[in-house]
Structure 1
Amino acid sequence: MKTQVKALVVGGGAVGTSIAYHLARAGWEDVMLLERDELTSGSTWHAAGLLPYFNMSYATTHIHDYSIRFYKTLEEETGLNAGFAVVGNLRMAQCDERMDEYMLYASTAETCGVPYEFMTPEQVKAKWPLIRTEDLKGALYHQTDGYINPADVTMAMARGARQRGVMIERKWQADAFHWNGEAWEVTATKMIERGGNLVPSDEQIVITAEHVVTASGNHAQRTAKMLGIKMPAIPVEHTFIVMDQDPALVEFRKGEGNVEHPVIRDADAQSYVREERGGWILGVYEKGAPARFEYGVPDSFRADLFQLDLERIEDQYMAMNHRIPSCEECGLKDDFNGPICYTPDGNPLVGPAPGLRNMWLAEGFSFGITAAGGTGYYLAQMMVDGEAEIDMASLDPKRYGDWMTTEFAARKNEEAYEHVYILHHPDEERPACRPLRTSPAYDRQAARGAQFGWVNGWERPNYYAPEGFNDHDSRSFRRGGWWQYAVEEAKAVREGVGLIDATAFTKHLVKGPGATAFLDWFTSNKLPAIGRINLTYALTGAGTTRTEYTIVRLAQDEYYLVSAGAWTAYDSDYLKKAIEDKAPEFGYIECHDVTTQWGVFAIAGPKSRDVLREIVKDADPDTVLGNKRFPWLTMRNIELGMVPVRAIRVAYTGELGWELHHPIEMQNHLFDLLEKAGEKHGMKLVGARAQNWLRQEKSYRAFGTELGRDATPLEADLPRFVDMSKEFHGKQAMADHGIRAKCVTLLIDGPEDADPWGREVLYYGEERIGRLTSGGYSVAFGKSIGMGYVKPEHAEVGTRLKVKMFDRLWDAEVTEDSPYDPRNEKIRKDG
């Protein structure tokens, strides 16, 4: 057994095996996989093996698509049949809203080239007569989908890995991880059988590995403790039952041309059904399924299951009998109630571990069989090439910060489990563990009708509504009940003045003798002069956009960095690791995450200066806010009432405005001052949804939508924020990329009752040429608006395109960048 390797993969389920295979296929030698028991002995062995394409995430759709295509090639390569039954996947809808959901998903799937077909209830009945269809509205059918044998596909990947030189060692448990400054030293213990249990022996070795990947499944909490990190991957009980043969099904299969039934997903009944040797398997996603192993898996738990709770799944069982009446005569043959790992948002944790070098996580897979192939492929790209060909940020382990606790993860994972088949409204807000992170003004905002969204744990107003309004009931795939309030808020900013809570912004203080040289290398734009600001980008090694920063220069070697609120730990980890790497070259640098020390209010609109004049403390309050003393894109320390404010003259809405960064403990005093001063000017409280619409009217790109690790700043059409005269990280790689796609803004003549959400496919004639990344409504133009990426030849202003919404193509036109106030005259307004 080798004790020095290039990469060590810990965990021998489908995910770990795929990662080892793909690292070897990508050219790495000396790859080893450790499994504490037998391959597939974790959740893999009792997985149902379904391969659902359906996912609202662009990255996850790509991962699932790769897996399904990859599994079909394994037998030819390895000689082992992976047990892939390409039977199709039929998603049925009992209500119009479910069909709306399927149409939104289908447009997203189309951006990734995933095939699908919509079917009427009559078409379903004609093809599969055992299904009751009179209460259906329709169905979505994936012809290339199906199910696979989890053990067979894992063994096929294991053989393929061995054929490529991977060493697979069973009955070895990773018990300690130590970074020696250059590589990982992993202490592994030989496991032995004793009385039916698996126990550690006295035999230990230390394996030195340049890279380590953890794919420990149900044991993720144990892994996290050994690494000294937090990881919200905790299993939840998942049940499926196997039925005896169904004579009606057997008879159906005898019919001429009748092949195996597709996987039947009755989302409105929270269940799936598939064929199994002439009978059926029923799997459920019910309420009340508990999280397990919050603090680690007991040593006695191996390939074990939990006791079946039939009462908990009674509704789903009865729904199966309703949907397939012949099931009612089938007896129960077997049951499986085992742990399946989840995360709070249902997406896995894939990427670099926070704070650690060359430590990679692949944990929290609720759909592990579906995601295993694609995860191995794209994670291998990240490890070998530096970046994947798709933006993997939405799966990054650092999307949850150190504020996350075990209790939070367990409760949110239970919620994610029961939400698998609940309608996934694009404007949904899930209630578990809320409110948790609140700014001081939270209670004041709630009293004024704020309907809150969840951003990195923070409560942030989405919009404001009258007393008695129910946010849950207002959600829709079209224009929900909240839409009218967001319109009023957007108009208030364009015509008068609005106040927005932006406290969730990520904020870092970077200072020290080496700070200027470091930031000049780290970011793409010129650094601002003292008292001024700029917008800039930190790039990946591949030249794509890693982070967007607003940089405020406070002193010669002191900078205040503001970035997206959803990505605090993500940004902080990258920034601090880069400083650690470059400090020997540039000199001493300090970096402090000051996010929770500063609150932020954004005041914007033609009357915003009038409101601030009421409360600014200065010898000349009439001119202190004018262009001469306080021009656009500058920062001034001012006093508003008794609050010292770091005021930045910039507005994400594209109107005259300021960001008011203030000591967070003084927030309520400042809120009261602004509210009182704003009364006579008609100031309106404004939420994030209106702000999102307004920033699209200005073509302001947002990180996580237009900006990410799959496009360069030049592809985002932001050359004005890239200084090619200097050297900066990722510059040459950015140039080498060229312009593969280009970001554009579109005005859309869409449905009268709906706007795009930013997930839709774009067409030029019959050709699929891009996708939307943002969408909404424009109060300035009175129609839908969107931003997205298209092939460069279709990015010219005036180009007529089509957007797919609700299974129809709608007219759209590429407009000029910043279609609202393109010369920024309103932002620069003097007074």
Structure 2
Amino acid sequence: MKTQVKALVVGGGAVGTSIAYHLAKAGWDDVMLIERDELTSGSTWHAAGLLPLFNMSYATTHIHKYSVDFYKTLEEETGLNAGFAVVGNLRMAQTQERMDEYMLYASTAETCDVDYEWLTPEQIKERWPLIETGDLKGAIYHTEDGYINPADVTQAMAKGARQRGVEIHRKLQADAFHWTGTHWEVTCTKMVEKGGNLIESDEQVVITAEHVVTASGNHAQRTAKMLGIKMPAIPVEHTFIVMDQDPELVKWREAGNPEHPVIRDADNESYAREERGGWILGIYEHGAPARFEHGVPDSFRADLFPLDLDRIADQYMAMAERVPSCAESGLKDDFNGPICYTPDGNPLVGPAPGLRNMWLAEGFSFGITAAGGTGYYLAQMMVDGEAEIDMASLDPKRYSSNWMTTEFAARKNEECYEHVYILHHPDEERPAARPLRTAPAYDRQKARGAQFGWVNGWERPNYFGPVDAPENFDEESRSFRRGKWWQHAVDEAKAIREGVGLIDATAFTKHVVKGPGATQFLDWFTCNKLPKVGRINLTYALTAFGTTRTEYTIVRNGENNYYLVSAGAWSEYDADFLRKAAEDKMEEFGYIEIQDVTTQWGVFAIAGPKSRDVLKEVIVDADPETALSNKRFPWLSARQIELGMCPVNAIRVAYTGELGWELHHPIEMQNYLFDLLEKAGEKHGMKLVGARAQNWLRQEKSYRAFGNELGRDATPLEADLPRFVDLEKDFHGKDKLVETGVRVKCCTLLIDGPEDADPWGREALYAEDGTRVGRLTSGGYSVAFEKSIGMGYVKPEMAVEGTKLKVKIQDKLWDAVVTCDSPYDPKNETIRVNG
């Protein structure tokens, strides 16, 4: 066997074999895959093999769709039948709210070219008489997916990989990883079978690889320990049972009728498909435990756990009601095995934090569905430098090692498992492992009615409900339409537009970049001009392909001293990119020091026409009346001020588009400052404001948000932000930025939508003739225009003020018009107002 390769893939399940196949297909002719046991011996062997296209994530939907399309081509290429039964997928709904969920999903599906159709209960019954439909509202039906044999598709991909030159070695376990500075040295031990167990031999081999990909499935925690990183990929028990033959089903098939689609009974937390005249019933129940939090025991191979019938009794009985003909069918077999999960259900795909040329493909709860697409898009990232879709939502660094622990991952993964069929409200906030990260003012805000959201572990107010609200107020407020929280957010947005509001923005990511090489480095690292000392600038760090990697507000505190503020949800994602880029340029530019100071500084954003009046009450200055004037404290500048006894780094900027300041303060003084501002704000009617109102307000100003309008699939020029790109200087990604041009363009739309619903930012956009022309990336309600608002991408010729479009909301097309950039106060007069 070789001992030196371009890329080494660790793990021989469906995901690992797909990655090896696609790396070879992408042009790397020196790829090796190793597996500690046999191919498919992990979760792949006991997977049910379903291929659901349904997914709320834009990136994951693309991944699943690629897989479904790709698997249909494997037999022609390899001669091996992957066992793909394209029977379709029938996802049923017992309530209107479930249908609302499907309608939101369906609009997202359209943006990824996923076909679907709607069925009434009567149409379901007509096609499949064995299904009881009396309690149903309807269903969404995918004709293109179904189920596949996990072992067969894995072996087909393995054969395809071998045909393209990939070496595959079984019974070879990776035991240590060492980065030399230029490549990886992976120490591997040959495994042998003894008495039914798999044990380590005395024979070892060191494989040298430029790149390593880990796809270790249930062994992810062992992998993490060897790499010295943390990742929240921990298995949870998943049960499916095989039932004896259903006599009526046998008759149905003998009469020449087609196989039933995969039946997904979401409100009964189960799925079912045909299996040799009977049914396979799979369940996503409450109470399924996490397993192997600290690693898989050596004795565990292709093993299963004992069946817990009590845990799945309700779903078992519901199946007998859904398909009454199976009520007398006995239990033929059961599979209760470990399936790896992550807290949000999305896998961990991308570069490992802090490591070079180490790629993770871990935490796949729907591994068979995702395997093909993961291999395709990860190969693009590795070979080309970037994928054609934005993969940030799957990046392993979305869970920061600064706070993520084993206990957190285990509890959140259990919660994620039981939420597979719980309604996926766009405004949902799941309760497990919370609160975890709280700013000092958390208790004060909670006492004032704060309903919190979860951002990178932080508790952040989404909105402020009634002070005496019951514990489950937020849960009962959720909806696919305008939930009970909606009016609270409207009132908060109006407070900022008409008076003054205070927003807790402590979750912002904050870095200090300083040293002799800091200025040259940041000038190269970002695409806008650097600010002068005491001033600020909005800028972007780009990928090598010229697309947006990170958005920064840069405050220049000194000649070579900078304070960088970026999105709170992406702390380690930003930190890792920043540090690696600085390391690469240190020799060229000089010493660069980077400090993550996120937890050292709290942030309050005060905004609104009366914000200056509130601050005048508490600022300590020789002339409080002029201290905050345009002359002494102009827009887009930063100053150190004192509010009472609290030193504050104040930044004259407001994400809401009103007169305002960000007040960056020592976090240990946060409660003092909160009380001070609250008391000063009383006579000015200051209102506490949450993230949802802020999100609406920033759309009225056409402010792009990272993870929505800004990402790795569009350049800043496509985001229509040329004023933040200085093409007179050299910067990372510039050549590709210019070469790419403007393929699509971001715009803001005002929408005459339904009276009880607003867009969420996942909806498809259509021309007036019914042609799909783009998608929304943000959505909400505008208090200034008293109608729905959204931002999204369309063809450049359509991103022109006055263009009439349609938005798909709740399965209907609603009129929309492209408005000017910053439809609220386009001249920024309210931001610059003097005082």
**Shared fold, TM over 0.5:** yes
Aligned to 2:41: 41
Residue 254 of structure 1 and its aligned partner are, at CA, apart by 2.7
Q: Secondary structure at the match of 2:663?
A: strand
Structure 1 counterpart of 2:192, one-letter code: I
**Residue type at the aligned position of 1:559:** Y
2:318 paired with 1:352:
no
Match of 1:7 in 2: 7
What RMSD over aligned residues (CA atoms) do the two structures have, in Å?
A: 0.5
- Aligned position for 1:564: 567
- 1:145 shift after superposition: 1.1
Whole-Å Cα distance in 2 between the matches of residues 560 and 166 of structure 1? 47
Secondary structure at the counterpart of residue 329 of structure 1: coil
The corresponding residue for 1:316 is 315
Quote the offset at 1:166 in angstroms. Answer: 0.2
Give CA deviations for 1:643-670 in whole Å, capped at 9, x if unaligned: 0000000000000000000000000000
Report the 3-state secondary structure (helix = DSSP H, G, I; strand = E; otherwise coil) of the residue aligned with 2:174. strand
Q: Amino acid of the residue matched to residue 36 of structure 1?
A: R
Give the corresponding residue for 1:468: 469
Runs of 4+ in 1 over 6 A off after TM superposition: none
Out of 811, 827, 832, which is 1:828 matched to? 832
SS in 2 for 1:152: helix
Question: 1:157-556 alignment to 2 at 5 Å?
Answer: 157-256=157-256, 258-402=257-401, 403-466=403-466, 467-469=468-470, 470-556=473-559
- 1: CA distance between counterparts of 2:212 and 2:100? 43
Aligned counterparts of 2:320 and 2:587: Cα–Cα separation in 1: 68
Distance between the aligned counterparts of 1:184 and 1:397, measured in 2?
20
1:769 corresponds, among 773, 793, 796, to: 773
2-structure distance, mates of 1:614, 1:795: 44
Q: Which amino acid in 1 is paired with 2:164?
A: R
Rounded to whole Å, the distance in 2 between the matches of 1:18 and 1:321 is 38
1:170 shift after superposition? 0.2
- Structure 2: stretches of 5+ with no match in the other structure: none
Letter in 1 for 2:94: Q
Amino acid corresponding to residue 672 of structure 2 in structure 1: H
Correspondent of 2:719 among 716, 721, 725:
716
Q: Secondary structure at the match of 1:661?
A: strand
Aligned residue in 2 for 1:684 = 687
Instruction: Give the letter aligned to residue 318 of structure 1.
Output: M
| Among 811, 816, 822, the residue aligned to 2:820 | 816
Provide the residue aligned with 1:661 in structure 2.
664
Q: 1:800 aligns with which of 773, 797, 804?
A: 804
Q: Cα deviations across residues 697-725 of structure 1 (Å, max 9, x unaligned)?
A: 00000000000000000000000000000
User: Are positions 1:704 and 2:707 aligned together?
Assistant: yes
**Identity, % of aligned positions:** 83
Equivalence for 1:623: 626
1: CA distance, partners of 2:77 / 2:798: 40
Structure 2: distance between partners of 1:252 and 1:126: 13
Deviation at 1:253, TM superposition (A): 1.5
**1:689 offset after TM fit, Å?**
0.1
Q: Choose the corresponding residue for 1:582, options 585, 599, 602.
A: 585
What TM-score do you get using the length of structure 1 for normalisation? 1.00
Structure 2 residue 67 is the aligned partner of structure 1 residue 67: yes
More deviation in 611-620 or 805-814? Answer: 805-814
What is the deviation of 1:468?
1.9
| 1:521-553 Cα shifts (integer Å, max 9, x gaps) | 000000000000000000000110000000000
1:248-286 Cα shifts (integer Å, max 9, x gaps): 001111335x21000000000000000001110000000
Q: Which residue identity lines up with residue 816 of structure 1 in the other structure? A: C
2: distance between equivalents of 1:830 and 1:325? 73
CA-to-aligned-CA distance 1:389-436 (integer Å, 9 cap, x gap): 000000000000011000000000000000000000000000000000
For 2:93, the equivalent position in structure 1 comes to 93
1:691 deviates by 0.1
CA distance in 1, matches of 2:258, 2:741: 48
For residue 111 of structure 1, what is the amino acid of its counterpart?
Answer: T
Q: Which residue of 1 aligns with 2:52?
A: 52
Q: Which whole-Å deviations, capped at 9, do the CAs of 1:132-156 have from their partners, x for residues lacking one?
A: 0010000000010100000000000
Task: Give deviations 1:338-382, integer Å, cap 9, x for gaps.
Answer: 000000000000000000000000000000000000000000000
Tell me what 1:23 maps to.
23
* Distance across 2 between alignment mates of 1:632 and 1:527: 16
Within 1, Cα distance between the matches of 2:786 and 2:443? 34
Q: What are the residue-to-residue correspondences of 1:710-749 with 2, within 5 Å?
A: 710-749=713-752
CA distance in 1, matches of 2:536, 2:67: 45
From 677, 681, 685, the equivalent of 1:674 is 677
- Paired AA for residue 413 in structure 1: N
Q: Return the offset for 1:792.
A: 1.1
Aligned length: 830
**What is the TM-score of this pair, normalised by structure 2?**
0.99
Instruction: Give the distance between the partners of 2:23 and 2:158, measured in 1 at CA.
Output: 12
Deviation at 1:827, TM superposition (A): 0.1
Query: Helix, strand or coil for the counterpart of 2:565?
Result: strand
2:786 is matched with: 782
Gaps of 5+ in 1: none
Deviations for 1:588-626, whole angstroms, at most 9, x for unmatched residues? Answer: 000000000000000000000000000000000000000
Deviates more, 1:792-801 or 1:691-700: 792-801
Q: How far did 1:327 drift?
A: 1.1
| Shift in Å, 1:767 | 1.1
Greater Cα shift, 718-727 or 791-800: 791-800
CA separation in 2, counterparts of 1:395 and 1:514? 32
Tell me the CA shift for residue 195 of structure 1: 1.1
